Structures are given as C-alpha cells and as structure tokens.
C-alpha cells in the first residue's frame, strides 16, 4: 500500500467534503470488490513458499528425515510435517 496526498489527486470540493469528517489523519480507501489481490500475489511470496513446499516434499520422498528437513529449511518439525502430509 502506498500513500498519496489527497490534495494531489482529489478535486478541491471532494477534499473539502472529506475534511468535514476527518482532518490530518490517514484514511484507508479499499479496492473495489473483486479487485483485491490475494496474499503474496504482488510480492511473489506465495509462489516462493509453494516452490519451497514442493521441494520439501521431494526431499522427503528422496529419504531425507523430517529432523534434517527442519534444520535445512529453518522450520519446526511440526511445520515440516504439515507441509509433507498436506495435499
């Protein structure tokens, strides 16, 4: 989310109307319905975690023990188990 000065983008009459309700505050204006991106879509984090989880499953199938996977990926044993046994 980036911050934009209202006076730079809004017509003066609209800015004055908004100032009747709030002044000197940060106001969040949500996206229109249906335009919201899912978590991790913009940063690539979602795909990075998906690829990491796939690699964890491959490593497990190749015989690497859960304890070793925990160390390799810096995750708890329980997190590794969730990744391995989830669909």
* Domain extent for 17: 6-85
In sign, the C-alpha dihedral spanning 67, 70, 73, 74 is negative
Range of 14-23, 39-48, 66-75 with top mean pLDDT: 66-75
Q: Is residue 53 within 8 Å of residue 43, measured between CB atoms?
A: no
Lowest mean pLDDT: which of 20-24, 26-30, 50-54? Answer: 26-30
pLDDT of amino acid 1:
66
Question: Is position 1 within any domain?
Answer: no
Choice between 24 and 76, residue whose per-residue pLDDT is larger: 76
Give the CA angle between residues 23, 25, 30 to the nearest 5°. 115
Question: Is position 56 within any domain?
Answer: yes
- Taking the whole predicted model, whether its pTM rises above 0.95 is answered as no
pLDDT of 15 above 80: yes
Question: Is position 62 within any domain?
Answer: yes
Q: Rounded mean pLDDT of the chain?
A: 90
The model's confidence at residue 4, banded by pLDDT at 50, 70 and 90, is confident
């Amino acid at each position: 989310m980036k911050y934009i000065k209202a006076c730079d983008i809004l017509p003066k009459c609209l800015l004055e109307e908004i100032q009747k309700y709030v002044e000197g505050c940060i106001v969040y204006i949500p996206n229109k319905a249906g335009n919201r991106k899912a978590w991790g879509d913009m940063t690539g984090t979602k795909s990075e975690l998906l690829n990491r989880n796939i690699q964890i499953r491959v490593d497990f199938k190749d015989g690497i023990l859960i304890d070793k996977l925990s160390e390799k990926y810096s995750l708890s044993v329980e997190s590794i188990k969730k990744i391995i046994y989830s669909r």
